[in-house]
């Protein structure tokens, strides 16, 4: 039986695996190939703020999905299209939150390997999950998805630029 994108976007829950592997790699790299940089206090505090922001965005998005009674797992079918809460300003608030959390960890813990790994994880999640999730949502919700996708950017909308 062929894989049906309408039934679910992926067979494997790529995003949590990718972010978890990136974090493990960050810890191992810092352990065995330390960057040896001691960041100024203001950057460490900024990192803590980014960690709080990333976790807050994650929990806000999960709560919004829970209240909408839709599926939160990235390898299962969406039951509803959520466009409120953090989904009003980014189509992927959990992935954005995870990326911001990793950036914050890198700064807060002087673990600079986390910085390129956060961007690498985001790139891989976009390639392996987001594009398939968007195709899945398009198949399931059609015009409703198309309208939402034109209003809310994939990641973030930057001032003076088109959709993110």
Cβ atoms of residues 134 and 74 within 8 Å: no
Of all helices (H) and strands (E), which one includes residue 139? helix 131-151
CATH fold for the domain made of 45-72+81-156: 1.20.120
Check residue 156 and give its pLDDT. Answer: 86
- 3-12, 64-73, 96-105: range with lowest mean pLDDT: 3-12
pLDDT (tens digit per residue) in 84-97: 999 999 999 999 99
pLDDT (tens digit per residue) in 95-151: 999 999 999 999 999 999 999 999 999 999 999 999 999 999 999 999 999 999 999
CA distance 121 to 151: 25
Task: Spell out the domain ranges in the chain.
Answer: 45-72+81-156
- % of the chain surpassing 90 pLDDT: 80
Six-digit token string for 143: 């015009």
- In three-state secondary structure terms, 71 is coil
pLDDT at 162 over 80: no
pLDDT at 1 over 50: no
**Block residue for tokens 């810890």:** 27
Of all helices (H) and strands (E), which one includes residue 23? helix 14-32
* Secondary structure (DSSP) of 79-99: SS---SGGGGT-S-HHHHHHH
Check residue 11 and give its pLDDT. Answer: 76
Check residue 160 and give its pLDDT. Answer: 58
Distances (CA, A) of 148 to 39, 56, 108: 41, 23, 35
Check residue 6 and give its pLDDT. Answer: 67
CA distance 120 to 31: 19
Those residues whose C-beta lies under 8 Å from the C-beta of residue 33, and which sit 6 or more positions away, are: 113
pLDDT at 153 over 50: yes
């Amino acid at each position: 039986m062929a894989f049906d994108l309408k039934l679910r976007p992926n067979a494997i829950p790529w995003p949590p695996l990718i972010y978890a592997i990136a974090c493990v790699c960050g810890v191992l790299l810092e352990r065995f190939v330390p960057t040896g940089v001691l960041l100024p206090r203001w950057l460490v505090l900024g990192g803590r703020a980014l960690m709080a922001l990333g976790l807050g965005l994650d929990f806000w998005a999960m709560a919004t999905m829970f209240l909408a009674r839709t599926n939160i797992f990235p390898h299962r079918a969406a039951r509803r299209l959520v466009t409120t809460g953090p989904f009003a300003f980014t189509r992927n608030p959990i992935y954005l939150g995870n990326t911001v959390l990793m950036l914050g960890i890198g700064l807060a813990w002087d673990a600079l390997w986390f910085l390129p790994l956060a961007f690498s994880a985001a790139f891989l999640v976009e390639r392996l999950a987001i594009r398939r999730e968007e195709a899945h949502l398009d198949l399931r919700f059609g015009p409703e998805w198309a309208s939402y996708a034109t209003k809310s950017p994939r990641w973030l909308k930057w001032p003076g630029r088109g959709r993110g």
